[in-house]
Structure 1
Amino acid sequence: MKYLKFNHGLLILAMVLIIMPSCKPGEKTIIKDGKDRLTAYAKHLDMEKTSSFNELDWQFLGPNNTSGRMTDVAVSPEGDYILSASASGGVWKSTDSGESWAPIFEKEVSVSIGDIAIAPSDKNIIWIGTGESNIFRSSHAGCGIYKSNDGGVTFTHMGLENSNTISRIIIHPENPDIVYVGVSGNEWTPNKERGLYMTDDGGKTWTPTLQKDELTGVIDVDMDPSDSNIIYASTWQRVRKKWNDPRTEPGYTGCSIYKSVDGGKSWNEISEGLMVPEYRGRIGVDIAASNPNILYAYIDDYEVVREPTEEERNDSYGLPSCGFIRGAQLFRSENKGESWERVSPLDDPLLQRLCNTYGWV
């Protein structure tokens, strides 16, 4: 006698097909911008509340050896908790020095994280910028910026829903209502929301303080620890093509470093000593903790230094290689950016492999 084997998967599928309402062509919604995404997600949450499956208990079955890109780490000013942000898995919190982690940001419109920040003057204030700014092929768009006033228990959407990717969040050391947000923009297409935004009312309103064009966003921001009115920002002109990694194209001269001495109200370009604009790519800026006069700039140098050999003629996409660029270069300034000097080897084959989207935090 033969027995039928009970298939739980088929039973669940049948239940879904029975319960799921039929989709009518006229009911389809076209998502045009960030506000549409927020509206659609609110509808999703309402549907979730009435779903027949909302009380199902899920059991993790593995695998245990799989992870992905972590885009940022932040430590509370008192050192009692750590936050870790991921490229596509939300934000995690540890209160035992990293021994264990719990998700605190996993049920929002986007769980692709560009940057996180904790207010130096209030450990309960946390900002999360959605949308990974590294623009990998597997990067996902965000839907603006979120804020928590209770240490990550709850979050509120605070705008910038059309930013797509957020690269950096800087909070004033004494006034947590003053926040600077770098918006690197849409990975694949131009968008006017790129640039640096500032709020002085805790996120109720935002003002663009540094904007160039629809192709150029702000990829890094830093504040002088000895003077909060001095702010540095680097711009990145790029739109990723489906067939290539993001790199400069003819006419791209928008990658540079800017400085403000009045809290972001006005900006001046500080690029003396850097390579010519046509060769600049992504730029990371940092201030030496031991001396705020000393700055470092980590820059992709796109000057072609070697043509491909016959074996290297096609790149990983199967397209003709554009040649080998100089790659990652390190510059140093000892006068708060007034002038720069290259301090990395000029022609290091290893550095040619460190560029574009890789190795950035």
Structure 2
Amino acid sequence: MFKNVVSFILFSTLASFMIGCNSSSSNKAIIVPDKPETPLTPKFTELGLERHKVEKLMQINGQLLALTDQGLYRYDTNWQIITDKSFHVLAMVAISDTHWVASIKQNEQGFLIESTDAGVTWQQFDNNFGGDFSSGEVARTLAYDNEKQKLYATGLYVLASSSDVGRSWTVEEGQWSSLGTGLGSILLHPEKQDVWYGGQNGIESPILDQLNTETYELTMHGQAINEYLPSPSVIYQILYDPKNNERIVASGEGGIVHSNDYGETWLPLLTEQDYRFHFSPVFDPNDHNVIYTAGWDKGDNVQPLILEMSKDDGQTWQSYTYEQQEFKGGVRSMLAVENAGKTVIYIGLYNNGVVKVTFE
């Protein structure tokens, strides 16, 4: 009996040992070293519109549109102008697929125009934007709330709204014809009752305000972001994170800041960019952890186009440079779209047209 017990113990021990060895071998077999990540190679393609200042790029009904200081253009295989060339188109919004409203300057005067046939024809219409001081006010931004059917716009130091597609305007915050360089950015948050808008005040400090359209509570974030974007500075772009509606990103002179708690606290995202303007950072439509930005160096007429990309939500950045002789690569606007499952970036330059970027 004793021998049987010893034999059983020896057999059990050996079996356990063999199972352990087999398990270890199996684990080792399925552990594969990480493959080095294949570096992305950007392809830059110049699309034309040289000697145009591209204020904004939009895509409506799959069509690429460029708002410039020499008219509104539509791109197919080349650029076709669809407004008068004397129009400096500052902002545009689609009320519907075919009904568009645009803010323009012509001979230093501001006007609102609209098209009801997707840009084929345009008409100027009477409106009271600016109140009694309409000659000094131009709508610098336009945004439309489809649910409330309300149009918003910013001026020098005013946020106004219209319930009749721009004919009559009501001041929401600020006042007409105030001092300042203008409020050039606006965001209607798609999941909250807030309008965010920004720019610069009369002493060249950044403005970033948040107005609740239900309670009319105004929250001013300019002082908080001024810590990371010191004066002189200005806010040119406000956007929300598509994967986190509590996260707000704002950019302008000096770089980019963000808030993960809907404005309670602010942190730097890409700062210490002395005299460099970031007008229009964008999230990748296929991967919302990827952010793109590009800038304009103040005072430099000829400069390379530098596309900056973060694949980890802004923690680290990689730069890609497109440098051509006598190329005016200062960036004014950006647009990221999805095309056949791939991301395409369009970049509007200060005085050198539009550049298309794809990654291979």
User: Normalising by the residue count of structure 2, what TM-score does the alignment of the two structures yield?
Assistant: 0.58
* Distance in 1 of aligned mates of 2:303 and 2:213: 44
Instruction: Write out the 4+ residue segments of structure 1 that deviate beyond 4 Å after TM superposition.
Output: 322-325
Q: Could you list the per-position Cα deviations for residues 216-240 of structure 1 after superposition, in whole angstroms to 9, with x for gaps in the alignment?
A: 221211122333212111131xxxx
* Distance in 2 of aligned mates of 1:105 and 1:203: 31
Q: CA deviation at 1:325?
A: 5.8
Question: Closer, same or farther in 2 for the Cα pair 1:90/1:111, shift >3 Å?
Answer: farther
Q: CA deviation at 1:68?
A: 2.7
* Distance in 2 of aligned mates of 1:323 and 1:231: 30
Q: CA deviation at 1:90?
A: 2.6
Q: CA deviation at 1:106?
A: 4.4
Question: Closer, same or farther in 2 for the Cα pair 1:332/1:151, shift >3 Å?
Answer: same
Task: Find the counterpart in structure 2 of residue 354 from structure 1.
Answer: 330
Question: Closer, same or farther in 2 for the Cα pair 1:283/1:103, shift >3 Å?
Answer: same
Task: Find the counterpart in structure 1 of residue 121 from structure 2.
Answer: 100
Matched, 1:154 2:150: no
* Distance in 2 of aligned mates of 1:65 and 1:95: 16
Question: Closer, same or farther in 2 for the Cα pair 1:279/1:67, shift >3 Å?
Answer: closer
* Distance in 2 of aligned mates of 1:221 and 1:266: 16
Asked if the contact 1:81/1:93 (under 8 Å) is kept, the reply is yes
Matched, 1:117 2:113: no
Matches within 5 A, 1:255-294: 255-271=254-270, 277-278=273-274, 280-294=276-290
* Distance in 1 of aligned mates of 2:219 and 2:302: 37
Matches within 5 A, 1:3-82: 67-76=86-95, 78-82=96-100
1:198 is matched by which residue type in structure 2? Answer: Q
* Distance in 2 of aligned mates of 1:216 and 1:222: 18
Q: Could you list the per-position Cα deviations for residues 177-235 of structure 1 after superposition, in whole angstroms to 9, with x for gaps in the alignment?
A: 3110012345xxx245x321001135834221243155222121112233321211113
Asked if the contact 1:210/1:267 (under 8 Å) is kept, the reply is no
Secondary structure at the residue paired with 1:338? coil
Question: Closer, same or farther in 2 for the Cα pair 1:65/1:226, shift >3 Å?
Answer: closer
Q: Could you list the per-position Cα deviations for residues 33-58 of structure 1 after superposition, in whole angstroms to 9, with x for gaps in the alignment?
A: xxxxxxxxxxxxxxxxxxxxxxxxxx
Which has more radius of gyration? 2
* Distance in 1 of aligned mates of 2:167 and 2:173: 19
* Distance in 1 of aligned mates of 2:183 and 2:275: 24
* Distance in 2 of aligned mates of 1:153 and 1:323: 40
Secondary structure at the residue paired with 2:187? strand
Asked if the contact 2:279/2:331 (under 8 Å) is kept, the reply is no
Q: CA deviation at 1:327?
A: 4.5
Task: Find the counterpart in structure 2 of residue 299 from structure 1.
Answer: 295
* Distance in 2 of aligned mates of 1:257 and 1:157: 29
Secondary structure at the residue paired with 2:249? strand
2:233 is matched by which residue type in structure 1? Answer: T
Q: CA deviation at 1:281?
A: 3.4
* Pick aligned residue for 1:207 from 219, 223, 231: 219
Task: Find the counterpart in structure 2 of residue 326 from structure 1.
Answer: 303
Q: What are the ranges of 5 or more consecutive residues in structure 2 without an aligned counterpart?
A: 1-82, 333-348, 355-360
Question: Closer, same or farther in 2 for the Cα pair 1:223/1:355, shift >3 Å?
Answer: closer
Asked if the contact 1:301/1:329 (under 8 Å) is kept, the reply is no
Q: CA deviation at 1:116?
A: 0.8
- How many residues align? The count is 239
Asked if the contact 1:327/1:355 (under 8 Å) is kept, the reply is no
Bigger relative CO (Cα 8 Å, ≥ 6 apart) = 2
Question: Closer, same or farther in 2 for the Cα pair 1:160/1:341, shift >3 Å?
Answer: farther
Q: Could you list the per-position Cα deviations for residues 73-106 of structure 1 after superposition, in whole angstroms to 9, with x for gaps in the alignment?
A: 2113x43521212244332222221233333564
Question: Closer, same or farther in 2 for the Cα pair 1:228/1:150, shift >3 Å?
Answer: farther
Matched, 1:168 2:176: no
User: Normalising by the residue count of structure 1, what TM-score does the alignment of the two structures yield?
Assistant: 0.57
Root-mean-square deviation (CA, aligned residues, Å) is 3.1
Task: Find the counterpart in structure 2 of residue 181 from structure 1.
Answer: 197
Asked if the contact 1:298/1:331 (under 8 Å) is kept, the reply is yes
Q: Could you list the per-position Cα deviations for residues 127-158 of structure 1 after superposition, in whole angstroms to 9, with x for gaps in the alignment?
A: 1112xxxxxxxxxxx24121013333421012
> What percent identity do the matched residue pairs reach?
18
1:156 is matched by which residue type in structure 2? Answer: T
Asked if the contact 1:209/1:266 (under 8 Å) is kept, the reply is no
* Distance in 2 of aligned mates of 1:191 and 1:354: 21
Matched, 1:86 2:82: no
Asked if the contact 1:120/1:173 (under 8 Å) is kept, the reply is no
Matches within 5 A, 1:124-135: 124-130=149-155
* Distance in 1 of aligned mates of 2:301 and 2:120: 42
Asked if the contact 1:115/1:169 (under 8 Å) is kept, the reply is yes
Q: What are the ranges of 5 or more consecutive residues in structure 1 without an aligned counterpart?
A: 1-63, 131-141, 237-254, 303-321
